[in-house]
Every structure is written in structure tokens, then in C-alpha cells.
Amino acid sequence: MKLKFIVFLSIAFLILISGLGSWGLTESSEARYAQISKEMLDSGNYIEPTELGIKHFHKPPITYYITTFGYQLFGINEFGARFFLQFSLILQLILVYLIAKLLYQKEVIAFAASIIYFSFPMVIISVRNLTTDAYLNTFILASLYFLIRYRSSQKPIFLYLFYLFLGLIFETKGPVGLIIPLTFIITTKIINQEKIQQNIHQYLGLILFLVVSSAWFILLINKNEGLLSYFVNHQLIDRVAVDNFKRGEPFYYYLILVPLMGIPLIFLFFKNFSSRFKQFYQQKTTEFSLLISIILFFVILSMSTSKLILYVLPIFSILSIIMAKHFYTIPEKWIRAFIRIYYVLFILIFLASTIIKFLPLNLNTNLYITFGLIMIIGILLIIISKNKKISNHIKLLYISALFVFTLIAESNLFFSYNEQTLNSVKPIAEYIKTQTHTRNKTIIVYDRLLPSLSFYLNQPIITVNNGNYNTQRETNFETSEHWKKYLINYKIKSERDLLLSISKNKNTFLIIKNNIIEPDTIKIIEKYFNDSKIFGKYKVYY
């Protein structure tokens, strides 16, 4: 690797981890993964994940395992939960670099691919919030790299690594993660009219994949009767065909989302590369197989009823590799135009930084670090812009990287001062802590699942289910009735009576979302409390 790439990775990593723990966990996905990992670490049960004490088998365990390792290194906090996401992005940048270099044999193309990938807003979003997607994309890229490496060298070690990462993909998100690698294999075979290899290494590699991908599932199914049917019908088929998770979006959802999450460099792809599809096909190159893989992946995701923004993340890594191949052939006028676009974006960011200085904010360490980083980035921007020895193509790469550095620094500052806007309940937890120092607190959350309250207060919380799909827990795998202490079904009279009884206890806190229609029992319960306080979209009675 060239020194400039190593310097880029080092700066990127330092900025990514700077201020990483300065804002609270966001509901609901990040809070869910963080709390499940905390419960896994606390209980020592690494086979059966639980959320608020109830078994939670929606996802395979790799993300939880990585997060618990982060807790062991840095403590049970936001930084520990998010640290390895930043590390995974660095690995992704390296893998994009290595794949591009392997395909095109040119360092400058590999360097461009890595920075283009880093410039996509989607990529940064994926590592600022704890989910499975960044880890999944890392494993997908690793599987592709080792497969391409094996095809070029025929060394068995790369074949085994390919199968290993296929197994890790499966243990991260199940079968859906295999779409891109398998499509790439099939497309390559068809285009090049290759026969399927049959040798001892292929068979051993397949066995390795089966062992890695099935290990957790076998252990779990052995301990929980009916789990195989649950995985196939509920977690696989229903996610594609039935909108059980309230994530239904129209077919064109990703058609709009992908361009927006790739601003601004992705428009270079639409302007300069889309017309080359026929050329890709005629040359029957590896990049054509990669392109077909992400197109099919895109179509499958669009047809699925379950859609989330980060599902399309793998598309951007492969797009960056294809874009880099043709990046240096883009006309100068287009490169200069995009440099000017970045200048406008920088001006907007610097204006925002200036305004922040005059706001009534506490001048904490994070604020000073942000201002310092922005000043340094501004100086570097001026130096690069004035240097006539650097070509405009390279300038655009450097400037796009500097813009992302600025964006990360600014976003950290925004997040830390707008936790409630980001749907974090950390301020509520901190306030509850100040009201009483006793450990005998009773926390009741009405018709919302807020796992991060348990995370911050380090105690169980009571969830009242009155029809909100988030509070409808899957208790069919519970072997005891302990969970009933912390999950109340409001629609059952005996449980409403229990809720009334619990609410009369000393040091009880009731959290309700603002602007909802409150049923009679909740209105009665509210009268038991002496005071209340509003935190963004929530109201706390105590």
C-alpha cells in the first residue's frame, strides 16, 4: 500500500473514533442491539440472545458478539458499542482498495475506489449507528476479495477464506447476505462458460461454510423446540413477502434512496458510466459480473416488503470500484464542476460552525475538538486547492475526503446537543437517576419498547403493551413466566389491575409518548404522581 493511502486510513480512523461516545443510543435499532449485547455479556449466555429478558432470535449473533467484545475493551457505553463499526469501515476501505487493485492492477485506481466509497453519505451513516449492516458489508467484501484472489492465483488458502467469510455472512444476517457473492459466482460462470470446479478443496471449503454458518442455529434449535419453522416462515419468508415488521415501502423506494445516499459523486456514475453497460457486457470482465450482482441484489431488495435504508449498503462498495476504473477518464470540466460543488458544501458547513459558536452551548471538550478539526481541515483544503502540481482528479478525491472528515466532526457535535431529536432517551435516564439514589426504582413505559432505558439505568423496566407492534414480544420460546413481571398486556383486565397496583409503589416513573390518546387506566395512573417533565416526544411522570 502507498504511504498516502495509509495516511488517509489513519486520519479517517482517528476522526471516526473522535467523539464517538458523545451522544446517546438511538431508539430503536441501535438501542436494541446495544441492550441485547449487554444482556449477553451480563448473563454469559452467548447462544440465546435476550432483549429486556425475553429471548430475541430475529438476527444471528455475530453483531452481538462483536459488540460484547467492544464492551469488554472499553466498558458498557456508547463508545464500546460503536467502536468496532469504525474499525469495520477501515477494513471495508482496505478491501475496496485491494479488490480494485486486483482487478485493474493500478494503485491510482485502487486509491480512487477507496476514497469514492468513503465519500458516500450512506457509508458514514452505516457506522454511526449500531446495526448489522456495516459488519455484513465487511464480510461480503472479504468474500469477494478472496474469491477473486483465488480465481487469479488458484491458491487453496484463498478458497477456504472465501468459504469462511460466506459462513460469517450467514451468521450475521442469514441467507439474504449471500445474494451478492452467489450471484457473482453464477454470473461469472455463465459469462465465461466455465464448468463448476470439483476438487477436494471445494468440498472441504463447502464443509467449512456449513459448519460456520450452521453452528449457532444448530445449538439454538437444539435448545428451543419449533425454532426451525420460526426461522424459515417468520424470519425469512415473512420478511420478504409480508410486512410484519412495519417496514413496507413502495417498489421505487431504493430508486430514490440510492442517488440521495451517494450525493454528490454518484452522479458521476450516472453521467459517465451508465452508457458503458454495453461495453461491460461485450468485454465480459469481472466488473460486469459485479455490476450484475448488485443489480440483482437491488431488484430483490426492491421487491421485498421489508425495506430499510442500510440494506443497500453493499451496492455502494461495488459501485465505487466500478466508478474508480473510469474516474480518470472523466472530462476536466466535470471534475472542476464537482470541485465547485464541494466548495459550496464546505461554505455551508463552515457557516454552520460559525453559528454554533454563538449558541448557548456548554463549551465541553467535544466542542473544542470539533472546532479544532474544522480549522485544520480548512487549512488543508486551502493548501490542496492552491497546489498546481496536483491534478484536478486527485484534488477532487482529496477534497471529497476532507468534506467527509468535516461532516463527521460536525455531526458528532450536532448529535451530542440534539439527543432527543435523534430519538435517544438517555436524557430521561439521566434525569431519573438524579431524582432518587435508591436502586428500588420502578420504570414503566407505556406502549413503547425503550431498551436503552434498561441499558442506562442498569435495571429491568416494565413495558405496557397496548397494541403497538414494537411492544408485541415473541414469548413462545420462554420456558418460565419470569418475563410476565416486565411485560404487561393492557388489553387484559387482570394485568391492567396489576399495572394500577405497581404504579402506587414509591419511586415509580411512568414514561408516555406525547400526543397519544391515553386510555382511562393510564389517566387514573397519572393522578398517582406528584410531578411530570417533558423530554422531546416523551413525558415522564414521577
Using DSSP bridges, classify how beta strands 462-465 and 50-51 pair: parallel, antiparallel or unpaired: unpaired
Q: Rounded to the nearest 5°, which phi and psi values hold at 512?
A: -130, 140
What is the average per-residue pLDDT within 329-333?
89
Give the integer Cα–Cα distance in Å for 542 and 428: 12
Give the integer Cα–Cα distance in Å for 224 and 244: 22
Instruction: List pLDDT tens digits, range 223-274.
Output: 888 787 777 776 666 655 555 555 567 888 888 888 888 888 888 777 666 5
Name the grid cell of 219. Answer: 445449538
Name the amino acid, one letter, at 231: F
Of 193-202, 214-223, 372-381, give the range with the top mean pLDDT.
214-223
Q: What is the reported pLDDT for 52?
A: 95
What is the average per-residue pLDDT within 354-374?
63
Q: What is the reported pLDDT for 449?
A: 95
High-pLDDT (> 70) share of the chain, % = 91
pLDDT band per the 50, 70, 90 thresholds, residue 172: very high
pLDDT tops 60 at residue 363: no
Q: What is the reported pLDDT for 276?
A: 63
Give the integer Cα–Cα distance in Å for 493 and 495: 5
Using DSSP bridges, classify how beta strands 462-465 and 532-535 pair: parallel, antiparallel or unpaired: unpaired
Q: Rounded to the nearest 5°, which phi and psi values hold at 30?
A: -60, -45
What is the average per-residue pLDDT within 185-212?
89
Question: CB–CB of 531/523 below 8 Å?
Answer: no
Instruction: List pLDDT tens digits, range 471-499.
Output: 989 888 988 888 989 999 999 999 999 99
Give the integer Cα–Cα distance in Å for 220 and 208: 19
According to DSSP, the residues that pair with 489 across neighbouring strands are 465
pLDDT tops 80 at residue 466: yes
Instruction: List pLDDT tens digits, range 63-84.
Output: 999 999 999 999 999 999 999 9
What is the average per-residue pLDDT within 1-25?
92
Q: Bigger pLDDT: 230 or 364?
A: 230
Lowest mean pLDDT among 19-28, 35-44, 76-85, 272-281: 272-281
pLDDT band per the 50, 70, 90 thresholds, residue 275: low
Mean predicted lDDT score pLDDT of the chain: 88
Going from N- to C-terminal start, the domains of the chain cover 3-327, 332-417, 426-541
Q: What is the reported pLDDT for 70?
A: 98
With 0-12 CB in 10 A as exposed, 13-18 as middle and 19+ as buried, what is 430? middle
217 vs 32, 38, 154, CA distance in Å?
21, 21, 32
Q: Bigger pLDDT: 22 or 228?
A: 22
What is the average per-residue pLDDT within 151-156?
93
Name the amino acid, one letter, at 446: Y
Name the grid cell of 193. Answer: 462458460
160 vs 34, 100, 150, 197, CA distance in Å?
32, 21, 9, 14
Q: What is the reported pLDDT for 307?
A: 83
According to DSSP, the residues that pair with 534 across neighbouring strands are 539
Give the integer Cα–Cα distance in Å for 179 and 166: 10
Question: CB–CB of 55/455 below 8 Å?
Answer: no
- Calculated CA dihedral for residues 44, 46, 52, 56, nearest 10 degrees: -160
**Within 13 Å and on the Cβ side, how many CA atoms surround 15?**
27
Q: What is the reported pLDDT for 274?
A: 59
Name the grid cell of 103. Answer: 482487478
466 vs 266, 516, 522, CA distance in Å?
44, 12, 11
Name the grid cell of 338. Answer: 464537482
Q: What is the reported pLDDT for 540?
A: 95
pLDDT tops 70 at residue 305: yes
